[in-house]
């Protein structure tokens, strides 16, 4: 007798008849193209992969009581990462994210002494430390006092002229002969030290050099001067995918950045303002309610131009104030985290730059 649901063998049916095999009855052959009842299309839409049946593995915590509970229980109790650890991991992943082509960032500051060069070095170092491709900082400050290389690699002496005159740049090892490197983070730097025979920096020189560097670097971050009317500025802005406006908590440290915001808006750089980060450097490290009110007022002021999520206050850090080479491993944890947050916000624009440069 056939099992329930199987067709009964009719009397006189021969082997090979529908519903009957050489060894007896066989299951009915479903027409998977039909959707009646619980037909094929419905079944296929409800298929479950094996990976969906396995609970995702929790990443063990690396700090605090969660870590000690995991270690103390011989790895039997795993509460997973804390919300803050998950946030940090997401920030790191954003900075290290996939990028097609190149991404160029220009750092602007309307006043000297606001921390524009250290911001360039710190954010460039953060990119370089977390990414698998190459990152370079470019000294695009036309002033005699340009000193980006001093904050990254004081031994770097070459400049734009050396890059543009070399006709044998075929691989990364070739360009390395013309740039310095911060060993701590792996950030390269193209300097622009003052020399008696140094050519005036123009938009064309910068743009031509930028084109060469794009062959070897994915992220390029350029430190500019304070004069937005200088001839090099159109070259920087034409290659920029994002901007960093740098201000400080000094009495007049925010005025220049505010004027830059007005200038960028009036000059038609609306696209870049949407991908602009404002960095307010606490250059004095003062305490007290009056100082906090000053910082809060600066944040509120710059939030009129960009979203509050793009305004960052970098705390005072003795390592930065020392005016030596920036080593992100020597920064206070709060300072390094703030630079990570800034860098991740800039990296969030990677996708919007695809198809551009």
The DSSP result for 148-190, as a single string, is HHHHH-TT----HHHHHH-S---SHHHHGGG-EEETTTTEEEE
- 195 vs 113: CA distance, rounded Å: 23
- 243 vs 114: CA distance, rounded Å: 16
pLDDT score of 74: 59
pLDDT score of 110: 82
Over residues 4-36, the pLDDT tens digits come to: 555 555 554 444 445 555 555 555 554 545 544
Per-domain boundaries in the chain = 58-95, 100-353
Give the mean pLDDT of 161-176: 94
What DSSP string describes 40-99?
Answer: HHHHHHT---GGGGSPPPPPPP-SHHHHHHHHHTTT-------HHHHHHHHHHHHHT---
Query: Contact at 8 Å (CB) between 265 and 232?
Result: no
Over residues 36-45, the pLDDT tens digits come to: 444 455 545 5
- 75 vs 137: CA distance, rounded Å: 43
Query: Contact at 8 Å (CB) between 116 and 234?
Result: no
pLDDT score of 36: 47
Token pair recorded at residue 202: 């123009």
The pLDDT of residue 112 is above 90: no
Query: Contact at 8 Å (CB) between 336 and 327?
Result: no
> pTM of this prediction?
0.78
CA atoms within 13 A of residue 158's CA, in its CB half-sphere? 18
The sign of the dihedral angle between the CA atoms of 222, 227, 233, 237 is positive
- 234 vs 230: CA distance, rounded Å: 8
Token pair recorded at residue 164: 């543009």
Query: What is the CATH topology of the domain spanning 100-353?
Result: Rossmann fold (3.40.50)
Token pair recorded at residue 274: 């949407």
Over residues 272-281, the pLDDT tens digits come to: 988 999 999 9
């Amino acid at each position: 007798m056939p099992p329930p649901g199987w067709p009964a063998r009719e009397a006189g049916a021969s082997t090979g008849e529908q519903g009957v095999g050489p060894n007896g009855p066989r299951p009915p052959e479903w027409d998977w193209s039909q959707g009646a009842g619980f037909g094929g299309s419905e079944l296929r839409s409800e298929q479950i992969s094996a990976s969906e049946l396995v609970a995702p593995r929790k990443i063990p915590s690396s700090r605090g009581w969660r870590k000690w509970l995991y270690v103390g229980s011989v790895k039997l109790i795993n509460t997973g990462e804390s919300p803050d650890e998950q946030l940090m991991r997401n920030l790191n992943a954003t900075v290290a994210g996939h990028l097609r082509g190149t991404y160029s960032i220009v750092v602007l500051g309307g006043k000297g002494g606001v921390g524009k060069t250290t911001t360039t070095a710190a954010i460039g170092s953060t990119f370089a430390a977390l990414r698998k491709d190459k990152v370079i900082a470019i000294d695009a400050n036309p002033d005699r006092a340009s000193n980006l290389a001093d904050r990254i690699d004081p031994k770097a002496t070459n400049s734009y002229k050396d890059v543009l005159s070399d006709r044998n740049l075929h691989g990364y090892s070739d360009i390395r002969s013309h740039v310095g490197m911060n060993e701590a983070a792996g950030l390269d730097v193209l300097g622009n030290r003052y020399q008696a025979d140094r050519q005036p920096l123009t938009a064309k020189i910068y743009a031509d050099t930028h084109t060469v560097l794009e062959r070897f670097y994915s992220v390029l971050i350029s430190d500019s001067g304070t004069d937005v009317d200088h001839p090099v500025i159109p070259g920087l802005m034409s290659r920029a995918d994002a901007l960093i406006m740098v201000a400080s908590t000094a009495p007049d440290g925010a005025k220049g950045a505010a004027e830059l915001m007005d200038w960028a808006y009036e000059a038609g750089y609306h696209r870049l303002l949407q991908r602009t980060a404002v960095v307010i450097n606490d250059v004095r490290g003062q305490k007290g309610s009056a100082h906090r009110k000053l910082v809060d007022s600066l944040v509120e002021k710059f939030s009129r131009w960009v979203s509050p999520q793009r305004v960052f206050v970098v705390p005072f850090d003795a390592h930065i104030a020392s005016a030596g080479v920036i080593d992100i491993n020597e920064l206070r944890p709060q300072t390094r985290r703030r630079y990570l947050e800034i860098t991740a916000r800039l990296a969030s624009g990677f996708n919007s730059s695809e198809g551009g440069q």
